[in-house]
Amino acid sequence: MSFSKVAIIGLGLIGGSIGLAVRQDLPDCTTSGYDANPKVRSRARELGLANVIHDDPAEAVKGADLVILCVPVGAMSDAASAIAPSLSPECVISDVGSSKRSITNGLTEALPGHTIIPAHPVAGTEHSGPDAGFATLFHQRWCIITPPKSAPEDKVHALVDFWEALGAMVETMDADHHDRVLAVTSHIPHLIAFTIVGTASDLEEVTRSEVIKYSAGGFRDFTRIAASDPTMWRDVFLNNKDAVLEMLDEFLTDLALMREAIRAGDGQMMHDNFSRTRAIRRSIVALGQDDPRPDFGRVHD
Amino acid sequence: MSFSKVAIIGLGLIGGSIGLAVRQDLPDCTTSGYDANPKVRSRARELGLANVIHDDPAEAVKGADLVILCVPVGAMSDAASAIAPSLSPECVISDVGSSKRSITNGLTEALPGHTIIPAHPVAGTEHSGPDAGFATLFHQRWCIITPPKSAPEDKVHALVDFWEALGAMVETMDADHHDRVLAVTSHIPHLIAFTIVGTASDLEEVTRSEVIKYSAGGFRDFTRIAASDPTMWRDVFLNNKDAVLEMLDEFLTDLALMREAIRAGDGQMMHDNFSRTRAIRRSIVALGQDDPRPDFGRVHD
């Protein structure tokens, strides 16, 4: 089986990119879209993010065999309730949220009897909103699918095929494991970036203007992910609390060791630690998960 | 006055880039070079990083009116001692190190009676070594000069002109203030990046292979600066200990508040904090200190 009508609920960076990618990569598939914000719906129509943009979420999912919820994690259950009345019984309900256990529980409760197959494309930029999307966002990126045990195999396969058609590589895992993995590879990096950017802008001895001027020394890298959508990230931390706190404490333990090495002037400890981190970077570049050009390919002229 | 012969001691990313930039932007100026590593000298000759590459540092600085030490902070004093016997009395001794108080003290002690004007171009990439340099590295980047009170004004001006000729914007400040500013904008970001990359690669519940695969969620950004030269960074933390510990403790205080907000489910606190960090990013981009393209301009296809 494969999907012939995809409904996209939420037309920001990810929802918009799915719409554009389907148009480019799955021309036989039609799309319908909805966003709670009327300005976003209007802009989505101008940009053609879906074949039809509806003003009512229940209208948007009528006749759809795949519904993808692309709203902040905290808005998933309400979005599910809003579409419930007109969902086809055969329809697959999926999403793109960055925490999977709470979404799985929330959707299962909101949509009893429906086929729910959560998913998470590990892709994005620091921009958000309907203008931020583009059709190649998922190319060469991983999409993690966390099917509940009850999910029919043919529908899981269809969702895998859908994401592969959009250029993604697909991996399947348990929702709880997903939440631990993403806590490390995404949530903690964002938390640290939001925090250090806040710290730097509040200092008394160094002005904000100096922080901005001399940011090329490394700080500017952190400002990119700290420019991500505040509502999306608030919801991630509210919904993946346990895994985030667990990984944050691992990081804090290591940072305390590093602090002590600096205090004690332990150059050997620092050199040993700083040497092994290069290997990880090399592997990420070798596996096509980052740009091989120096400085992420930033323009130097 | 302006410089007619520049000696570059240390031919890695920064020293090599200075050599290439002088050839491109100051064609009337000749360059000589030296590196302690014979393989680097040999490669520097092939790449033409300076007009002449010497096997002896004392030979390299003969007749130079500007000497720039481009070695790790911990190697500055030894490099200064090695060139001392053949320095011209009129010569300006400068450097490119990332901590300025300890270098100023070390060079003043190693080269009594000489004119020492420390400098720090806030520029670089994660790559190091003679092959990493390029002529436009300093374009639109700030170079901070920290002249001691005793430095003759005409020589300070000549050094400002030199860096501006290489495309940099120049700011002058006190060495201690430099060290605080750079602790925030460069040293703490590197320390955090080295630490989190280490934490992620040591976890038991999430494999290194998973960390690499799903790094596009944010983690990969940190791996870039964590791939920087380990010796250079060990020396920075050994030589800017006080400012680094001071700023690290500010960050740890803020991170503890964020941890408590997550634990308590305080979404309002998170949203308030995550909202104000976007403004800093916008200012950095507006001032030409980062690439305006989404995702640093990474290729998405």
Per-residue pLDDT of B75-89, as tens digits, reads 999 999 999 999 999
Q: Taking CB atoms and an 8 Å limit, are A237 and B276 in contact across chains?
A: no
Q: What pLDDT, on a 0 to 100 scale, did the predictor assign at position B30?
A: 98
The residue from B173, B207, B238 where one domain ends is B173
Strands A30-34 and A52-53, bridge-based pairing? parallel
Give the SS3 label for residue B64. Answer: coil
What is the average pLDDT across A118-139? 96
What's the structural domain count of chain A?
2
Which structural domain range is residue A46 located in?
5-173
Residues B47 and B20: their CA atoms lie apart, in Å, by: 9
Residues of A in contact with B208 (CB under 8 A): 280
Q: Taking CB atoms and an 8 Å limit, are B126 and A294 in contact across chains?
A: yes
| Secondary structure letter of residue A128 according to DSSP | -
Burial of B260 (C-beta count, 10 Å sphere; 0-12/13-18/19+): exposed
How close does chain A come to B131, measured CA to CA in Å? 12
Q: What pLDDT, on a 0 to 100 scale, did the predictor assign at position A160?
A: 98
For the CA atoms of B66, B70, B76, B78, the dihedral, rounded to the nearest 10 degrees, stands at -80
Q: Which of B141, B223, B284 sits opposite A212 (nearest CB)?
A: B284
How close does chain B come to A90, measured CA to CA in Å? 31
CB–CB contacts below 8 A, A to B:
368
| Secondary structure letter of residue B126 according to DSSP | S
Residue B65, in any domain of the structure: yes
Q: Taking CB atoms and an 8 Å limit, are B281 and A227 in contact across chains?
A: yes
Q: Taking CB atoms and an 8 Å limit, are A195 and B238 in contact across chains?
A: no
Q: Taking CB atoms and an 8 Å limit, are B296 and A297 in contact across chains?
A: yes
> A48 with A67, same domain?
yes
Q: What pLDDT, on a 0 to 100 scale, did the predictor assign at position A299?
A: 84
> A212 with A228, same domain?
yes
| Secondary structure letter of residue A138 according to DSSP | T
The residue from B147, B173, B199 where one domain ends is B173
- A37-72 pLDDT, tens digit each: 999 999 999 999 999 999 999 999 999 999 999 999
Count of CB atoms situated within 10 Å of the CB of A38: 9
Residues of B in contact with A290 (CB under 8 A): 215-216, 220, 223-224, 298
Strands A119-121 and A142-145, bridge-based pairing? antiparallel
> B146 with B222, same domain?
no
Q: Taking CB atoms and an 8 Å limit, are A289 and B215 in contact across chains?
A: yes
- A202-240 pLDDT, tens digit each: 998 999 999 999 999 999 999 999 999 999 999 999 999
Give the SS3 label for residue A80. Answer: helix
The CATH number for B168's domain is: 3.40.50.720
Q: Indicate whether this model's pTM tops 0.90.
A: yes
How close does chain A come to B292, measured CA to CA in Å? 9
Q: pLDDT band at residue A168, thresholds of 50, 70 and 90?
A: very high
Spans in chain B with pLDDT lower than 50:
none
Q: What pLDDT, on a 0 to 100 scale, did the predictor assign at position B300?
A: 79
> A195 with A154, same domain?
no
pLDDT surpassing 90 at residue A1: no
Sign of CA dihedral A243, A249, A252, A254: negative
The CATH number for B200's domain is: 1.10.3660.10
Residue B138's nearest CA partner among A212, A301, A299, A220 is A301
Q: What pLDDT, on a 0 to 100 scale, did the predictor assign at position B254?
A: 97
The residue from A173, A205, A220 where one domain ends is A173
Residues A135 and A167: their CA atoms lie apart, in Å, by: 10
B 24-63: CB under 8 A from A: none
In contact, B49 and B133? CB cutoff 8 Å:
yes
- Compute CA distances B196 → A199, A253, B205, whole Å: 18, 11, 16
Give the SS3 label for residue B134. Answer: coil
> B258 with B215, same domain?
yes
Asked if B271 reaches chain A (Cβ–Cβ under 8 Å), the answer is yes
Token duo for residue B130: 């003679």
Residue A299, in any domain of the structure: no
Asked if B138 reaches chain A (Cβ–Cβ under 8 Å), the answer is no
Q: What residues contact A164, with CB distance under 8 A and at least 6 apart?
A: A170
Q: Taking CB atoms and an 8 Å limit, are B185 and A210 in contact across chains?
A: yes
Provide the mean pLDDT of chain A: 96
Residue A298, in any domain of the structure: no
Q: What pLDDT, on a 0 to 100 scale, did the predictor assign at position A148?
A: 96
Q: Which of A126, A141, A200 sits opposite B294 (nearest CB)?
A: A126
Residues of A in contact with B166 (CB under 8 A): none
Q: Taking CB atoms and an 8 Å limit, are A213 and B137 in contact across chains?
A: no
In contact, B161 and B2? CB cutoff 8 Å:
yes
B 206-235: CB under 8 A from A: 206, 208, 210-228, 230-231, 233-235
Max intra-chain CA distance, chain B: 67
- B184-237 pLDDT, tens digit each: 999 999 999 999 999 999 998 999 999 999 999 999 999 999 999 999 999 999
Residue A235, in any domain of the structure: yes
Residue A273, in any domain of the structure: yes
**Counts for chain A of helices (H) and strands (E), in that order:** 13, 9
Residues A242 and A87: their CA atoms lie apart, in Å, by: 33
Predicted ipTM of the assembly: 0.93
Residues B258 and A191: their CA atoms lie apart, in Å, by: 8
Q: What pLDDT, on a 0 to 100 scale, did the predictor assign at position A300?
A: 79
